[in-house]
Amino acid sequence: MVQSPCLVLKDKERIQPRAGRLDLLLQDAETSHRYEVEVQLGGTDESHIIRTIEYWDIERKRYPQYEHTAVIVAENITARFLNVIGLFNGMIPLVAIQMNALKFNDHVGLVFTKVLDQMTLGLVDEDEDVQETTDRSYWVNRGSQKTIEMCDQLLETVKSLDAELELKYNKFYIGLAKNGQPCNFVVFRPKKSFLRIEPRLAKSDETQEQLETAGLDVMDYDDRWGRYRIRLTPGDLKKQTEVITEVLTQAFNGANN
């Protein structure tokens, strides 16, 4: 019903403090992502929309180590309430699913149609230059000279795709820019002993297998931003140049299509 094919039922009719019961709590078996699901018969109404958001808010505050998405399932999601739900999307990760029962001879089947998907947010400075900028020395102190040099090596890799790309030093990450404009199909987060790179790519079994087969340290996929998160050491850049280059190329092509 939602993005991941690897969902497991974590709990049902989960008691909420002073707020009733959450119908279903689902969790992605491969990542730290949970889905708070409210199911109702008939058409969407105010009370169920409020409960959907309320249960999502309670769970995310109780378990902040997980990513959380609110899900409402109804037999009929009316145009009026679809507009209301749409107003929340972007501020609240929200999915709306319409459920229909179809009868064929003596059999009944259920058809689930996703009428509103969770909005994938872009980085702030992809649209406007409001990120607090820093400089190279800031990141050498925050990370290390070695991990900044790894950024330089990867910059040379992406410059083979577009010679006008350059590093842009922001407060929370090092991005890319072209002619002064952000071009963040990949961002870099230098640490003391390793460099985390975050290419924007759609989640796929093929990409996951490619990275893991290469022996790279792949962290949980970032569903909110649509990025893979990969920890690299200097040795990885030498041993897995081909795989890393291919992943960066895919992210570049995806951003320019």
Q: What structural domains and CATH numbers belong to the chain?
A: 7-116 (3.40.1350.10), 124-255 (3.90.1150.200)
Encoded amino acid at 145, one letter = Q
User: How is residue 233 annotated by DSSP?
Assistant: -
155 in helix, strand or coil?
Answer: helix
Nearest one of 178, 108, 188 to 153, comparing CA atoms: 188
pLDDT digits (tens, 9 = 90+) for 191-247: 999 999 999 999 999 999 999 999 999 998 888 788 999 999 999 999 999 999 999
Tell which phi-psi region holds residue 216, choosing left (phi > 0), alpha (psi between -120 and 50) or beta.
beta
Q: Which of 118, 116, 113 is nearest to 98 (CA)?
A: 113
Higher pLDDT, 101 or 176: 176
Place of tokens 């058409």: 43
pTM: 0.54
Nearest by Cα to 111 from 100, 96, 103, 120: 100
pLDDT tier at 89, thresholds 50, 70, 90: low
pLDDT in tens, 91-109: 788 888 888 888 888 888 8
pLDDT confidence of residue 105:
85
